[in-house]
Amino acid sequence: MNISDALAGMPQILPMIAVIVGGLVTMLMAVARSHKDPEHGQLTAGPFVAVALVSLVFALFLLTQIEPQAKAVWGGTLAIDRLSLVGQGLIVVIAALAISMGAASITTQGIVRGEYFALSLFCVSGMMLMVAATELLTFFVGLEIMSLAVYVLVGFRRSDRRSQEAALKYFLSGAFASAFFLFGAAMVFGATGTTAYAGISTSAQKLLSGTAFPMQTLLLVGATLCVVGFAFKIAAVPFHMWAPDAYQGAPTMVTGFMAVTVKAAAFMAFLRFVLLALGDGSTRHVPWIVDVLSLLAIVTMTLGNLSAVLQRNVKRMLAYSSIAHAGYLLVGMVGALERGEPAVQGLVFYLFVYGLATLGAFGVLIALERKNGRHDEMLINRFAGVGFQHPALGVAFAVFMFALSGIPPTAGFTGKVLLFGPALDAGHIGLVIVAVLNSVVSVYYYLSIVVYMFMKNPPPRQSTEPRVFSPWLTGALVVTTFGVLIVGMMPQRWIDMFAKLV
C-alpha cells in the first residue's frame, strides 16, 4: 500500500471518521459540563443527543454517497461493496434510535455523565469497521474498539453492584473469547500465510482438497476457533452464558443497545467471514461449516427459548429471546451458505426487523423505569395493568412482542419467511422444522407479558414517582413501532433495499 492508495481509500472511511468526531465532541462537552456542575450535575440530554444524531445522520448521508465497488480499499482490508455499505447504514440507523432512547435514562437513572454518548459513538465506529473488514486483523481491531466501549457501558451505573458485576463478567469472558479468536486467526494465518478473507478462501480450497497433515489440521482448528469467537459475540449456545447476566445487570438503555447493534454488527461480520473466507462468496464453501452452523443453530434456538420460558424477569427473558434469535439467524446463515443471494437478503432483512422490534421492547422498558427507582428489577408482575395505565406504551409493546414471535402483519412474520425459506429450499428440512417449532414455543413467553399488560389489574400500591417524559424516547418509540408495522405490511421496498448484497 502507498500514499495514493490511502488517498483513494480516504472517502470510504469518512463515515467512520464522522462518527468518531461526534464521539470526541460529546466527550469534550461532557468534560466541560462536569466542570460547571460537579456535584449532582442534572445535565440535560438534549445537546448530547443532538450532536450524536447529527454525526450519525451525517455518516449515513456519507454512506449513501459512496459508490459500491467490488474491490476492497486500504490495501484490501476494507470492503465497500453493498453488504458493507448497507450493513454500516443499518447499524448507524439502529444505533441512532438506541442512543435517542438512552437519553431518557440520563435523567431517570441518575447516570449523569455525558460519556455515555461518547462511548456509544466510539462503539458504533468499531462496529462499522467490523462490518466492512475483509481481513482478520482489521476485524479484530474493530471488534476490540466496539467491545471495550461496551464493557464500560455495561458498568455505567457505578454505584450498582449488579451493573459492576455484569461489566466484569462480560469483560472477562469477552477477553477470553477474543483470545480464542486471535489464536484461531494466528493458526489460520499459519496455514495460509495471509489474513485476508479472499486469500484464506483460495488456500483453504487447496489445502482441504489435499492431505497435507499439519497445515490442514491447523487451518481447520484455526477457522473453528474463529467461528467460536464470532459465536461468542452473537451469543450462540454454548458460548452465550455471559449474555443473560450482562443483559440483566446492565442499565436498560445499554442492554437495548447491546442486544441490537452488537448482535447486528457481529452477525454481519460473521456472515462476511463465513461467506468469503470459508467459501468463495457464492455457494461453494468448506463442507464442515454447514454442519457446525446447523448444530449451533439448533442448540441455540432450543436452549434460548426453553430458558426464556422459565424467566420471571423481563430483561432476562429478552436476553434469552435474543439468544434464541441468534439461533434463527444462524438458520438463515446456513441458507446463505447454500443459496447465496436470497438468503443473505433475508438475513439482513431479519436483522433489521429484529433490531427494530427488540430495540422498541427495550425502549418501553426504559419508559417504564421510574425516576430514582432503585435499579428496577423489571419482574413480570411489574407489567400488570400497564396496558390501561399507559395504553400507547402497551400497544407498542404488544406490537414488538408479536413481531418477535413472528405473527403477521408485523414485520417479524415476513422476516421469518425470508429467513427460513432458503434453508428449507436447500433441503435442511429438520433444521427448519426445529426453527418453526421453536418460534411456536416462543409465543408463550412473548404473549405472557402482553397478557400481564392488558389482562391483569395493576397492583394496588404503585410508586407514585412520575415517569420522566423524554421527547427523544417518544420519537424513537414511534419510529420503531410504525417501522415494525410498515415493514411488515409493505415489505417490498425494504426487501429491495437489502437485495444484491453479494
Q: Pick the stretch among 82-90, 149-157, 256-264, 479-487 that binds other proteins (CB under 8 A).
A: 149-157
CB closer to other proteins out of 57 and 451:
451
Residue 130 contacts other proteins per CB under 8 A: no
CB closer to other proteins out of 167 and 356:
167
Q: What is the DSSP letter of 380?
A: G
CB closer to other proteins out of 54 and 433:
433
Q: Which of residues 89-118 bind other proteins (CB under 8 A)?
A: none
CB closer to other proteins out of 96 and 325:
325
CB 12 → other proteins: shortest distance, Å?
Answer: 20
Residue 24 contacts other proteins per CB under 8 A: no
Residue 436 contacts other proteins per CB under 8 A: yes
C-alpha torsion angle, residues 214, 217, 219, 225 (rounded to 10)? -130
The residue from 24, 66, 112, 168 that contacts other proteins (CB under 8 A) is 168
Q: Which burial class, exposed, middle or buried, applies to 389 when counting CB atoms under 10 A from its CB (0-12, 13-18, 19+)?
A: middle
With CA atoms as reference, report the closest residue to 370 among 108, 86, 33: 108
Omega before residue 409 within 30° of 0, cis: yes
C-alpha torsion angle, residues 44, 49, 50, 56 (rounded to 10)? 170
CB closer to other proteins out of 104 and 237:
237
Place of cell 425459506: 421
CB 435 → other proteins: shortest distance, Å?
Answer: 10
Residue 408 contacts other proteins per CB under 8 A: yes
CB closer to other proteins out of 66 and 221:
221
Q: Which burial class, exposed, middle or buried, applies to 460 when counting CB atoms under 10 A from its CB (0-12, 13-18, 19+)?
A: exposed
The residue from 232, 328, 350, 383 that contacts other proteins (CB under 8 A) is 232
CB 172 → other proteins: shortest distance, Å?
Answer: 6
Q: Which of residues 278-317 bind other proteins (CB under 8 A)?
A: 288, 291-292, 295, 302-303, 306-307, 309-310, 312-313
Structural contact between residues 452 and 379, judged by C-beta atoms closer than 8 angstroms = no
The residue from 112, 425, 486, 502 that contacts other proteins (CB under 8 A) is 425
Q: Which burial class, exposed, middle or buried, applies to 14 when counting CB atoms under 10 A from its CB (0-12, 13-18, 19+)?
A: middle
Q: How far is the CA of 333 from the CAs of 315, 348, 468, in angstroms?
A: 27, 10, 41
CB closer to other proteins out of 107 and 313:
313
Q: Which of residues 238-277 bind other proteins (CB under 8 A)?
A: 238-239, 241-242, 244-245, 248-249
CA 340 to chain centre: 22
Q: Which residues of 434-443 are buried (b: 16+ CB within 10 A; e: fewer)?
A: bbeebbebbb
Residue 390 contacts other proteins per CB under 8 A: no
CB 234 → other proteins: shortest distance, Å?
Answer: 14
CB closer to other proteins out of 280 and 377:
377
Q: Pick the stretch among 3-11, 22-30, 42-50, 491-499 that binds other proteins (CB under 8 A).
A: 491-499
Structural contact between residues 225 and 300, judged by C-beta atoms closer than 8 angstroms = no
The grid cell for 400 is 414488538
The residue from 27, 424, 468, 497 that contacts other proteins (CB under 8 A) is 424
CA angle 446, 322, 308 (to 5 degrees): 50
The residue from 271, 348, 495, 501 that contacts other proteins (CB under 8 A) is 495
Residue 486 contacts other proteins per CB under 8 A: no
The grid cell for 248 is 440483566
Residue 227 contacts other proteins per CB under 8 A: yes
CB closer to other proteins out of 17 and 148:
148
Residue 141 contacts other proteins per CB under 8 A: yes
Residue 454 contacts other proteins per CB under 8 A: yes
CA-to-CA distance for 345 and 224, rounded, in angstroms? 25
* Pattern 335-364, other proteins, x by CB under 8 A: ----x-xxx-xx--x---------------
Contacts of 307 (CB under 8 A, 6+ apart): 244, 320, 323
With CA atoms as reference, report the closest residue to 107 among 42, 202, 172, 180: 42
CA-to-CA distance for 367 and 101, rounded, in angstroms? 9
* Three-state secondary-structure class, residue 196: strand
With CA atoms as reference, report the closest residue to 251 among 326, 353, 127, 152: 152
CB closer to other proteins out of 167 and 361:
167
Structural contact between residues 418 and 432, judged by C-beta atoms closer than 8 angstroms = no
The residue from 85, 129, 166, 473 that contacts other proteins (CB under 8 A) is 166
CB closer to other proteins out of 280 and 341:
341
Q: How many residues does the chain have?
A: 502
CB 53 → other proteins: shortest distance, Å?
Answer: 26
Q: Which of residues 176-215 bind other proteins (CB under 8 A)?
A: 176-180, 182-183, 185-187, 189-190, 193-195, 214
